Structure 1
Amino acid sequence: MHKSRHAVHPIPTLQPTTQLANINLRCIALPRNQLLMRGPFEALLSPLTNSVLSSCRPLIPPHYVILPIHPLQLPNIILHFSSKAIILPSTVFIPARALTSLRTVVLKDQCLLPAHSLKLSLGVKISSALRTITPYSTFFGPGLSRDVIPRLTIIREVLWIEKEIASCVVDCEDSDVAKHCSCVVRETFESENEDSLSSQHGERIIICAALIEKCSNYDDTSVVEKVWGLDTHEKRIAFLERHVIASPTPFHYHSIITFNSTLNRLAFFLNSYVILIFRAFLPPCLNNGFAFEVHGQNVLARFDRVTGQLRGFVVRDFGGVKFHQETLKQSCGVRADVLPGSAMVAEEIAEVGPDTYFRLMTPFN
């Protein structure tokens, strides 16, 4: 994906050669009583912590907690938290691979954090926003994942949700400072490991934003054409027909549409795709007053590994969800636990519908 990236002081200017895909996470340690943790944060990170302690145990007092830090974020840590934090030497690092958002990473040694990713604060503007993590987000995600997500009206075979299991942020009155040192531990289903959810279901997961990209060889070949080998008109038509036949739709269009033209095939595919994505994201909106932030980076498509057919979707990242507390309480029996002033709370149920419409329908406009 091609995104604008602007480093905000004190992070140095990013160069074309700046490594963003494969990075070495740095580590710091902060007193436990100066951190706000939600969920089993220390337990989940204990393999990582033990690995770090094996090389620098004398440096870390027992009442300190080790936090992984994006290497580019280190100047902000020094600026804001040098009086509190122990910054471990550069010889102590954790190799990681960045996901599309750049600030979310998976560890290369997955034994240190199996089936999870780390979302880290990064003081860089990517596209339009500074990619730090506010205390509102670190507080909200684990509670939502534990109390609300299991109760939402979801068609589970169509939509998988990567829950935010735990989080940590510096306890600081100024949220604009605290947001520079925070971390979220999130489930990840797209690993190639045999025990990952996608592997167990015989599926491969692809971020939706990548499906509209062009290949980098300066021709008009799309990623979809390249990955599925759709190098002829006939193969592209067959691709549409496979998706049509496999789409889990309650409507039986097959008997009323004849595939006598490319236009009919394309229209049929779009109908099936739209029905599938509506089945994924409309039920929680209509029944629970809850809207996920549905866009190409937060939503991933699930394809059958053998046939290449679309099976459903994965959604992740709760920083931009919108919900109506009263509707949530009436339908699920719980309210979402949020900090006062959170922008995720809709004062009126009417705010949730337009939000969903905008996010779902923008790609078709």
Structure 2
Amino acid sequence: MSAASLAPAERAAFATSSRLLSCLVTESLMNAIFVRGQSNEVASTAIVLTPEASKHEGPYAPEDVFVAIPLRHIPIFKPKSATLIGLLDPLDMFPYVYEPTAGNGISNGIVNYALNAHAKANSSGLEDSALEALQTVVPQVSALRSIAGPLYLWRKFADSYGIDEELYDSVTEELRSSVVWQEYSYGHPPIEPKFVSPSIAWEQSIVEGHPTHPMHKARRALSPIPTINPGQYDWQHPKIRIVDVPRKKLSIQGDWDNLVSSVCAVAAKNAGRPIEVAPDHTLVPIHDLQVANVQEKFPEAKVLPEEYHVDALAQQSLRSVIVPSALTSTQLKLAFGIRLTSAVRTISPPSAYLGPRFSSEIVPRLTYDRSLLIVQRELASVSSIHPNPDVAKHLAGIVREAYENICEEKHGERAIVCTALVETGYSGEDEIPLVQKAFNLDTKEKRIAWLDKFVDIFFKAFLPSVITNGVAFEGHPQNTLARFDLETRELKGFVIRDFGGLRVHPPSVIASTDLETLDGIIARDHSILADTTEDVHTRLYHTLIHNHLQQLIRVLRLHYNGIGWEIVRRHLEAQIPQDHDLRKLWLNPETETLPGKCFMRMRLQGMYRTHLHGPFPNLIHYNGIQNA
């Protein structure tokens, strides 16, 4: 009854459906009632109510039921409740979703992907259990049908919630893109990396990506970039193109010309002729997918012919690249007009301005253990000075340090992007996560010991700057690389990259350093600025606890038994000072909820830079379930 046993199309549909349902329930857009299972195979069923039915307590009619989801384990409840689910994770779910049939008054809808015979045989017991559970809440229901597609779920939610057509169409295309690209990923899985594989192989090994975002695999090209279908473009091997731009049209930070000169030199070598550039112009490397946007939006920019190109290797984010032929210790972060997950991956002028200044002025003054945490500084940047920031963000780039390029030769380390550690799905029905394979974690005792060391060093790396300086790095798995000794495979520390999701409390920074002001370093209206330290701690909880550690604990099978969270509590108790606000917020037993990032609520309100938070169960205090 695993998702890996499904055909790629069905598995992809469930991957997106489960994430969509996870957000809708966890963000309290719909209530989900827990019904304990009667069989040994099904722990329980989640009866998800429609938005309207979620506003009141029963009795409920068949039309009040959104879906019924068989669960592998008992989920986490809302505070003071033993029936309302507070956190529903995709890993809680069996890969089947049901609704009452049309014969019970439910309107007909299209099932995007029908279950094959093998899946139907495996799901028969689940359907019976789900029906039995649903009848305890809505006795009138007599039959169920399977729903495999997120587009049907989204249409059903949009109709009941009152979503306008423009937003409905936009989200529909993003969900559709997510399913299409996830199906392609399952059908054409990347090569499974080994511990000895280089860092870039781990970056390019991602099968699923974000564990809870409904648009986790979306790759939606926006005009003037033409639609990109699976198999049409090699995302892992983009080409860097060169643009000639008047300096007066750019804001340049750091030693940009010198840091990109080797890229331009290789482009000229590949073309077989030099690049002639005027003294009052500069050269800007861009992603090859961004050529159409630059040509349309910046008439002053001259895109050099395609013969002036450089081959690159994309990291997990796809728009950050290493350039082996030109850059040894640095990498490029480039803009392109592609919507990945919830955002178009351009670079805003404030972000381009921030990186080099934050790197040179604030990072050296922060309190953190340099042996445990490597902060990849952003050394230089460019961005257009176009008066419309929504246009300017399309012509921008950042040069940042690339510790992973040199760590093997100079430090005897293997740097692995943390997202890859929890990935599975490389061959057939193999659901063993890479972390277990790479570190030979074949017993419960080994998994516990490995996690204990990981959490210990993780908090020692990321908490000091928060506690002392009021600065939280966005330490989610895509931004974080774990550093392991090449010989012993012991964890040595971490690397953090990308300053776009920082959270900075200016009074705390000023009070803890010799800086008198942050003016000239961070724009006063920048989205990373926090009004309170609690705001900093909120960002930290989402990235470190809810996003990063939760998924790792789950795949190591240390979630439902509570062992992983006992490890988290123990290390937080040891590392957060007794009188610090962070301890009062996170470790107080009365803190039953903490603000969680609401992906769907943000999308419904058109948010990206500004985060929207809702009360999520405080995972730090989770003690597991009996007999897990």
Quote the residue 2:453 is aligned against.
Answer: 272
Quote the residue 2:416 is aligned against.
Answer: 206
Q: Match for 2:390 among 168, 171, 176?
A: 176
Q: Match for 1:317 among 498, 506, 512?
A: 498
Query: How much does 1:135 deviate?
Result: 0.4
Residue 114 of structure 1: SS of its match in structure 2?
coil
Q: Does residue 230 of structure 2 align to residue 24 of structure 1?
A: no
Q: Match for 2:353 among 111, 124, 139?
A: 139
Amino acid in the other structure paired with 2:311: P
**Aligned-pair RMSD on alpha carbons?**
1.8
Kindly provide the CA deviation profile for residues 279-326 of structure 1, in whole angstroms up to 9, marking residues without a partner as x.
010000000000000101000001110111111111000001001111
Which segment drifts farther, 56-65 or 301-310? Answer: 56-65
Q: Supply the distance in 1 between the matched residues of 2:381 and 2:279 (Cα, whole angstroms).
A: 20
Which segment drifts farther, 313-322 or 339-348? Answer: 339-348
Quote the residue 1:47 is aligned against.
Answer: 262
Q: 1:192-231 residue pairs with structure 2 within 5 A?
A: 196-218=406-428, 219-228=430-439, 230=440
Amino acid in the other structure paired with 1:220: E
Note if contact 1:189-1:198 (Cα within 8 Å) is conserved in structure 2.
no
Query: How much does 1:236 deviate?
Result: 2.0
List gaps (5 residues or longer) in structure 1: 238-261
Q: Supply the distance in 2 between the matched residues of 1:269 and 1:222 (Cα, whole angstroms).
A: 14
Pick 1 or 2: higher relative contact order, CA cutoff 8 A, min separation 6: 1
Q: 1:71-150 residue pairs with structure 2 within 5 A?
A: 71-81=288-298, 83-109=299-325, 112-150=326-364
Quote the residue 2:102 is aligned against.
Answer: none
Query: How much does 1:269 deviate?
Result: 3.9
Quote the residue 2:165 is aligned against.
Answer: none
Q: Match for 1:339 among 489, 512, 523?
A: 523
Shift in alpha-carbon separation, 1:288–1:38, aligned structure 2, 3 A:
same
Query: How much does 1:38 deviate?
Result: 0.5
Q: Match for 1:11 among 225, 238, 256?
A: 225
Q: Match for 1:353 among 526, 537, 540?
A: 537
Query: How much does 1:56 deviate?
Result: 5.1
Residue 403 of structure 2: SS of its match in structure 1?
coil
Amino acid in the other structure paired with 2:352: T
Query: How much does 1:51 deviate?
Result: 4.1
Q: Match for 2:466 among 268, 275, 285?
A: 285
List gaps (5 residues or longer) in structure 2: 1-205, 209-216, 551-618, 620-628
Which segment drifts farther, 85-94 or 313-322? Answer: 85-94
Shift in alpha-carbon separation, 1:155–1:9, aligned structure 2, 3 A:
same
Query: How much does 1:32 deviate?
Result: 1.2
Counting aligned pairs with the same residue, the percent is 34
Q: Supply the distance in 1 between the matched residues of 2:458 and 2:435 (Cα, whole angstroms).
A: 18
Residue 122 of structure 1: SS of its match in structure 2?
coil
Residue 166 of structure 1: SS of its match in structure 2?
strand
Query: How much does 1:108 deviate?
Result: 2.7
Q: Supply the distance in 1 between the matched residues of 2:367 and 2:304 (Cα, whole angstroms).
A: 45
Count of matched residue positions in the alignment of Structure 1 and Structure 2: 328
Q: Supply the distance in 2 between the matched residues of 1:225 and 1:324 (Cα, whole angstroms).
A: 38
Quote the residue 1:151 is aligned against.
Answer: 365
Q: Match for 1:185 among 379, 399, 403?
A: 399
Quote the residue 2:249 is aligned against.
Answer: 34
Q: Supply the distance in 2 between the matched residues of 1:266 and 1:224 (Cα, whole angstroms).
A: 9
Q: Which has the larger radius of gyration?
A: 2
Q: Supply the distance in 1 between the matched residues of 2:490 and 2:452 (Cα, whole angstroms).
A: 15
Q: Match for 2:442 among 236, 245, 259?
A: 236
Q: Supply the distance in 2 between the matched residues of 1:48 and 1:73 (Cα, whole angstroms).
A: 17
Note if contact 2:221-2:338 (Cα within 8 Å) is conserved in structure 1.
yes
Kindly provide the CA deviation profile for residues 123-179 of structure 1, in whole angstroms up to 9, marking residues without a partner as x.
101111110000011000000110110111011111111100000011111111010
Quote the residue 1:297 is aligned against.
Answer: 478
Note if contact 2:264-2:285 (Cα within 8 Å) is conserved in structure 1.
no
Which segment drifts farther, 69-78 or 50-59? Answer: 50-59
Q: Supply the distance in 2 between the matched residues of 1:46 and 1:26 (Cα, whole angstroms).
A: 13
| TM-score, L = length of structure 1 | 0.85
Q: Supply the distance in 2 between the matched residues of 1:158 and 1:236 (Cα, whole angstroms).
A: 27
Note if contact 1:215-1:223 (Cα within 8 Å) is conserved in structure 2.
no
